[in-house]
Structure formats: C-alpha cells, structure tokens
Structure 1
C-alpha cells in the first residue's frame, strides 16, 4: 500500500493539517521548520495550493492561512454525512455490549425524530419507532438535545411546545425543566426515568457536528428494574462513549464528551 502513496500529495496534506495543530497563519519558514522540509519544496506546494484556493496569503505579512476552498469542502462534507450510516456500527456494538434497545434521533427543524432503532435480545415493547417524533421534555434524547441548544433557541422551543404529561413522573414546569437541563450539561447525559412510559428508563447523550452544534442524540432504553446500580454505570459510560465517537466521525473537535 505505502509504495503507491504520492509523496507530493502527502506533503500537501501535511501542510494543510499543520494549521489544525499550530496557528491560523503560518509563514513558509514556519511550515518548513515544523515539517522538516526545504523552503523550496514548501514554496512550490504552497503556491499550488494557493492557486487552487486551498490556501490564501495575507498581503500584510505574507503568511498563509486556509482558503475558502477548504471551507466549501468542509461544509459539503458536513451537509452530506449520513448520520444514520455513521452511527450504525456504534449502535450495533452498543446493543451487543448492553443487550438493550438503542435509539438514534435527529434534530430536524423543531422536532426530534427517531431515525434508527436496534433492539436487544430481550423483548421490550416501548414508545418509539422510526419516524416517530420524540417529545423534547419527556425523553432522554429530547432533553439531551435541548440542553445543548443555544439558550435562546431552547427557550423558544420550550415556550412553543405543549408540555404534555405522559406519566405521573413527566416534568411539565418550565423552570424545573431548565434546572434539569443545567444538570444534563454538567454530567454530559440525560435521563428519562419513567417520564414517557411507566417502567421504562432511558440514558441519552448528545451528538455534535463539525460546527460544534448538537444535531442528534443516542440513547439506551430498558425496563427500569434492569438498569440497577450494577448496570447503570456501564450504560452511561457506553452511551457517552458512543456519542463521542459518532461526533468525532462527524468532524466534531470540541471538548471530549466522555470526560
């Protein structure tokens, strides 16, 4: 495999990736020193990348920075990534590990929609199915997304949706919900403790895209009696890890979600 790699393309990639770990602007000398390449080699590659729009030169100090073409490509990749396809192997791995039902939901406009559902080997009939809307206030997936939206956006949604009571445990007071959202942000996951269906408990964590925006959530749903003090820590760790790994695959570069 290695003998088929083209050295000039490898070096061009090294130069572009250098901006991810150093400074937003770099001189030819700085690039040369960081990559241990001659200035003449760096100059030739940079001029090619500049010509194609992948780099642009600051006329004030002659340093180079990422160009608009990289921005266009990044946006294209972000928009066309299939969240379900990216998440599917992580979901299957989680189901095998936990032997419980795992959901993936996507934020679409002002709705949270179930887009993937893989059931564990234990039979369990629960509220969800693919294509169904998940209430923001009474599901783990809904709350984990709501908690990480812009505060104004979260307030707008809370003021516009019907805070319907599904069980005696459903939270319908806006201030109580906001307090819980704060706790979710602190711990990195949300809990639905019989709020959408009696006897059902869910643990959910948010998924972020390359722009750092919350766009989805993954959850594990099981009978409350099975999520006891012995299994619950494993479920929480598994859900947070899967959410982090999916986010990274979508280009997320923010704080690691499983810390």
Structure 2
C-alpha cells in the first residue's frame, strides 16, 4: 500500500489547524461573518469560505442570526463537547493527586463536591493518622463549615454565595446573625484572594485542614481537595501544606480543561 507523502500530511494538518482556529475564534467571539474571520485569522476570504462550507456540512457550524451571513458553532459540535465533558471522571482525574499528597505528607486527603447546600466527600486517601479526616466517604458538611466546603462556597458564583448566606439568615433551626453573615462574606472574600482555605480546629479540635478549589473547563468550581493533619506545637507545616494542596488542585483543574484566567 502506498504511503502518504509528506506534502499530503502537511496539507492535511494545515487544514485541521485552520479549522481549529476558526472554531476557537467562534467559541471566543460568538457569531462572525466570513470577512470578520478572514480578518481576524489573517487568511484569504476564499480559504475561509471553503473551510466554513466543510464545517457546516458536518454540523460543526451553523448560520447565525445577524445580517451579513454570520456563522456560529453548531449544535453537533456542542453535543460533542457535552459528551467529552460527561466522560470526564472527576474521581479518576483526582485520584493520583490525592495519593501523591497523602504519600508526601503521611496525612489524610479527601475530595469534596457540592450537593445543594452541603459538600459531600466522594474520595479519600488515608494517611498515618486517619482519625484526623473531617469527612468519611459519603459524609457531608454545610458549605460554610470546614476547609473543603468553604473552598467550594468561596469560589462559587456571587449569586450562589448570596443565596446561601440568605438561607442561613432565614434558617429556622440555627439562623446566623447579621454580624456573622458579614463575617462570613469577608472570610469568603479573603479565601478567594488567597486561593486556599486554612481551618484550624473549626470542626475537630487539634486538627488543621488546608483546602483548594478544583475548577472545570468553564472556570467553575466543581470540587475541592483538602489535606487534614493533627496540629503540633510550633507546627509550621500548614504553610507547606498550602503550597502542596494548591499545586494538586491546579493539576486536577488542568486535567479537567481549566486554564488560568477562565474564572
């Protein structure tokens, strides 16, 4: 069987690269005309027309609503993106990072995800002192309690945070006061500025925990990674733990398609 020539491979890759640039441009800017794409990508208008015809024939772009025959990403491409998203297993993506943290520190690490107004532990790797973990698999805490839940709440959209605090104020069983609500808002702002949460005995006396958010490809928080340890006198490990947890949370976020600047 004859082998493809180098020139043929190069031409094919060039077409794929150009198509990718067209799709990326539409994803970033929405509806665009062929002329706008040609100008933005510095490509001949004839090349853009040919590329758009090919992409429309497979359903990856469709006609837009503005005047001037604009195009936008097609529903078939959106479906492909959703299929890829649903195939990503958060637990699988985080497992290596959790194991690495537990091995490096000999402490317990766990992964939490939001579930309504609570955060649920869905994965955990035990360290030497397993009793230090605030959550077992399947256990949960309110979003404003504990390092892991707070990391999720702090990086949630503003309306989610506001609605949560409003619900705490209106709680029938254990409502928070206005000063407490203001204090929680300030704490969440500080967490967003720092990028991590540090909890010293908030849930279990003598235990400190450090957590960082895990972001998806849209820049939205979908989980948190927490490292939990016994607090020793003159213990400075929390500073080291912050760097380690931030590193692994960033690693998992990148695996899920997150890029700095998305949020």
Please state which structure has a larger fraction of its residues in helix: 2
Q: Residues 235 and 27 (structure 1 numbering): CA distance in 2 closer, same or farther, change over 3 Å?
A: same
Compute the displacement of 1:90 (Å): 2.0
Q: Residues 98 and 82 (structure 1 numbering): CA distance in 2 closer, same or farther, change over 3 Å?
A: same
- Please say which of residues 231-240 and 200-209 is displaced more in the overlay: 231-240
* Residue of structure 2 in register with 1:54 after alignment: 60
In 2, distance between residues paired with 1:73 and 1:34?
Answer: 25
Unmatched runs of 5 consecutive residues or more in structure 2:
none
* Residue of structure 1 in register with 2:251 after alignment: 245
Contact 1:102-1:221 within 8 A present in 2 as well = yes
- Please say which of residues 247-256 and 111-120 is displaced more in the overlay: 247-256
Query: Which of the residues 180, 188, 195 maps onto 2:187?
Result: 180
In 2, distance between residues paired with 1:114 and 1:60?
Answer: 50
Compute the displacement of 1:136 (Å): 2.5
Query: Which of the residues 143, 147, 156 maps onto 2:150?
Result: 143
In 2, distance between residues paired with 1:204 and 1:115?
Answer: 15
In 2, distance between residues paired with 1:226 and 1:255?
Answer: 38
Residue by residue, what CA displacement relative to the aligned partner does 1:62-113 show, whole Å, maximum 9, x if unpaired?
Answer: 3433233333333343344221111112222222333322110011233211
- Please say which of residues 148-157 and 213-222 is displaced more in the overlay: 148-157
State the Cα RMSD in Å. Answer: 3.3
Contact 1:78-1:209 within 8 A present in 2 as well = no
* Residue of structure 1 in register with 2:130 after alignment: 124
1:77-156 maps to which residues of 2 (within 5 A)? Answer: 77-120=84-127, 122-126=128-132, 127-149=134-156, 150-156=160-166
Give the structure-2-normalised TM-score: 0.76
Q: Which has the larger radius of gyration?
A: 2
Unmatched runs of 5 consecutive residues or more in structure 1:
165-171
Tell me, yes or no, if structure 1 residue 158 matches structure 2 residue 168: yes
